[in-house]
Structure 1
């Protein structure tokens, strides 16, 4: 297993020491490996969220290109959004 030297702030070093003293981890390496697993998981979740946003954006652009949209006047926007909320609520009830 490769060895790495890392520089920690005083706060980070105390946190590592505290976690080891608590018995939750046997040594500093376990603490750091757990931290890296969390970084890896967060990166995967961020990538999945970005992918979902990109897909939703593309769906929106495709709908615009195909003419599937409603042009709403600014003064009607609040009423239109309220109507969408009511539709979503009805769909949520049906899905349950």
Structure 2
């Protein structure tokens, strides 16, 4: 297994040491490997979220281009958003 030198701040060093001393990890390498795994998972989730957002944006632009949208007057916007929230809540509780 390759060895890497890592420079930690005093706070980070103390945190790693406290995790090892607590018995949760056997050594600092385990702590850092677990941290890297969390970062990897976060990167994958971030990539998926960005892909979903891009798809949703593309759908939105397509709907706009095709005239599939509701034009809401400014004075009705708060009510319209409230209705959307209520619909989303119902849909979430049903699913």
Alignment of 1:5-44 (within 5 A): 5-44=5-44
CA distance in 2, matches of 1:49, 1:33: 24
Q: Deviations over 1:18-70 (max 9, x none)?
A: 11111111111001000000010111111111111111111111100111011
CA distance in 1, matches of 2:56, 2:4: 41
* 2:78 alignment counterpart: 78
In angstroms, what is the RMSD of aligned CA positions? 1.8
Moved over 6 A (4+): none
Unmatched 5+ stretches in structure 2? none
Unmatched 5+ stretches in structure 1? none
Instruction: Give the TM-score of the pair, scaled to structure 1.
Output: 0.85
